[in-house]
Amino acid sequence: MLTTYTISVFTTNTIGLLNRITIIFTRRRLNIECLTVSETERKGVSRFTIVIRNENREIVEKLVRQIRKITDVLAVFGYLDDEIVFNEIALFKIATPLGSPALDVKTINLDWNAKVVHWGLDYVVVEKNGSEEEINEFYAYLKQWEILEYIKSGRVAVGKTEKGLVEYLPEGNWEIV
């Protein structure tokens, strides 16, 4: 059975590190579902959130160890979905020319927990946060209108422990941003 794994990689902020990490996946023919890179609350520490699906937990464990081996990597964690709080964000650009069915903003707001973030002349942009599943369901609902563009971010995730980032990092003077 395919299981979703979220791999959080904490690194020093170094040029080329993204490449060093992704070639580990490429070499093992593992497909990255989505990838998000951002700075953390600690100066000089970047965070990669990588989602992969695999049937074999062992392969994922080996992958995590290979990533950990990279010299500029500070810490790596592989999570199952129930071990993290995670979310994605999607933007939908929907055509609203004269004569098209009216957008049901109330339903979008209340039932779907989404919102219109931009009103164009003949279109609107709707933003929806949630899990991939929720976003897919929302996509299906929006199909009754013409969807001009759809984009979804990679996953962002934090572990469901009480620990802060610093406790995962090697001992050091991690200045807060």
Partner 1 sequence: MGKTQIEATQPTTTQSSNFKTGAQAVMQSLVEQGVSTIFGYPGGAIMPTYDALFDYRDQLKHILVRHEQGAGHAAQGYARMLNKAGVCLVTSGPGATNLITPIADAMLDSTPLVCIVGQVKANLLGTDAFQECDVIGMSMPITKWNYQIVDPNEIPEIIAKAFYIAETGRPGPVLIEITRSAQAEMMSIPFKYQKCESIISYKPRLEPKEEHVEAAAKLINGAKRPYILAGHGVLISQAENELKEFVEKTGIPVATTLLGMSAMDADHPLFVGWPGMHGNYGANVLTNSCDVLIAIGMRFDDRITGDLSTYAKQAKVVHIEVDPSEIDKNVKADAPVVGDAKAALKALLPLVKKADHTEWRAEFKKYDDEEYEKITKKDLYHEGNQIKMGEAVALLSDKTKGEAVVVTDVGQHQMITNRYYRFKKHNSIVTSGGAGTMGFALPASFGAKVAVPEREVIAVIGDGGFQMTLQELGTIAQSGLPVKIIILNNNFLGMVRQWQSMFFDNRYSFVELQNPDFITIAKGFGIEGHTVSDRNNLGESLDTLLNSKKPYLLEIICEKEENVFPMVPAGACVTKVMLE
Summarize as ranges the residues that interact with partner 1 (CB under 8 A).
Answer: 11-12, 15-16, 19-20, 23, 27, 58, 61-62, 65-66, 68-69, 71-74, 170, 172
Site of tokens 């976003």: 135
* Cα(42)–Cα(32) distance, integer angstroms: 26
Smallest distance from partner 1 to CB 38, Å:
18
- Residue placing its CB nearer to partner 1 in the complex, 101 or 170: 170
- Residue placing its CB nearer to partner 1 in the complex, 112 or 174: 174
- Residue placing its CB nearer to partner 1 in the complex, 18 or 103: 18
Smallest distance from partner 1 to CB 165, Å:
14
- Residue placing its CB nearer to partner 1 in the complex, 68 or 118: 68
Report the residue count for the chain: 177
Q: Which amino acid is at 59?
A: I
**Helix ranges restricted to H, 28-153:** 57-68, 105-110, 132-142
DSSP 133-144: HHHHHHHHHHTT
Smallest distance from partner 1 to CB 162, Å:
24
Smallest distance from partner 1 to CB 52, Å:
17
- Structure tokens of 23? 């070639």
- Structure tokens of 77? 């964690």
